[in-house]
Structure 1
C-alpha cells in the first residue's frame, strides 16, 4: 500500500513522463517541418516509450491500492533550432527525468517503501540507456557538422529505430 506522500510523487512522475511524450511529439513535428523524416520517426518511437513509462507507473499505483490523479500537461516548445541543439535539449530533459527518478528512489527509501524502491530500479536503468542514446546521437551530429550528406545518413539511420519488444507488449 502506498502512503500519501509516495502516491503524490508517483502521480507527479506520470505527468513528467507524459510531458516527455508530448515534448518528443513536438520535436518530431519540428523534425518533419525541417525535412528530417528519420528524426521524426526516432522521436515518434520515443513518444511511445515515454507513454509506456507513464503507464507503468499508472498501473503500479493501481496495483498498490493507490489512486491515479492526472494533471494538466503543459504545452511543449515548438521550435528547437538545429538538430544538435534539439538533441542537446533532449539530453537535458532526460537528465531532468533521471534526477526526478533518483528523487523518487530517495523518497521511497526514506519512507521505508522497499516495494516502490524496487519497482523504480527499472527506471534507474532505463535512464542510463536514455542518456547514452542521446549522447551517441549528439556525438554523431558533432562529427557530421555542416556536412549535409552526413546529416542525411544519420537521418536514414534514425529512421530504422525499433521499439524494444518488451515495451511494445506492455500496454
Structure 2
C-alpha cells in the first residue's frame, strides 16, 4: 500500500513527538526519584515506556507499508522542575501537543481518503482522550488535597497507585 508524502512526513513527525515524550517522561521520572517522589517516579518511568511503545507503533506501521520510518535524533528534555505540580502541567501540555498532531493526521487521512491510516490513528485518538484526562485528574488533586507537604505526599501515593505496567505492543 502507498501513502502520500504528506502523510509519511506527518507519521514520521509523530515518531519524533513520541520519542521526545518518552525522553521527557524519563527525565521527569529521574527528577521525581531524586526529589523523593517515588510514586511519581514509578508513574513517569511507566509513562516513558508507554510513549516508547507508541513510537514503535508508528515505526512498525510505516515500515509495514514499505514507507520506511525515520528514527530521529531528539533534543534533550527539561530535567529540572519547580514543583511536582509544575511537572504535571508540563506533562499535560505535552499530551495536548500530541493530541493536536494526531488530530492533524486524522484530517490528512480523511482528506486523502487514506482509510488504512485513518483506522490506525483511531486508537491514538481514543488514547489521547485518556492521556489528557489522566493528567487533568492529577492536577485536580492539587486543588482537592492541597499543595502542602501532606497534600503532595498523598498525590505521590495516588501516582504510585495509578502506575501500570507498559501496554503490550500488538505490533511486536
Task: Extract unaligned runs of 5+ from structure 1.
Answer: none
Q: Is the 8 A contact 2:145 2:154 kept in 1?
A: no
Secondary structure of the structure 2 residue equivalent to 1:129: helix
Root-mean-square deviation (CA, aligned residues, Å) is 1.4
What TM-score results when the alignment is normalised by the length of structure 2?
0.92
Q: Is the Cα contact below 8 Å between 1:41 and 1:159 reproduced in 2?
A: yes
Shift of 1:169: 4.7
2:31 matches 1:30? yes
Structure 2: state its 5+ residue gaps: none
Q: Distance in 2 between matches of 1:92 and 1:3?
A: 29
**Shift of the alpha carbon at 1:146?**
2.9
Aligned to 1:162: 164
CA positional deviation for 1:86:
1.0
Deviant stretches of 4+, over 6 Å: none
Equivalent in the alignment of 2:134? 133
Query: How many residue pairs get matched?
Result: 169
1:83 and 2:84 are equivalent in the alignment: yes
- Partner SS for 2:76: coil
**TM-score scaled to structure 1, two decimals?**
0.93
Alpha-carbon deviation of 1:150? 2.5
Per-residue CA distance 1:108-127 (angstroms, 9 max, x = gap): 11222111011101000000
Name the counterpart of 1:17.
18
Contact 1:84–1:142 at 8 Å: present in 2 too? no
Whole-Å Cα distance in 1 between the matches of residues 34 and 145 of structure 2? 20
> CA offsets, 1:87-106, max 9 Å, x none?
11111111111000000111
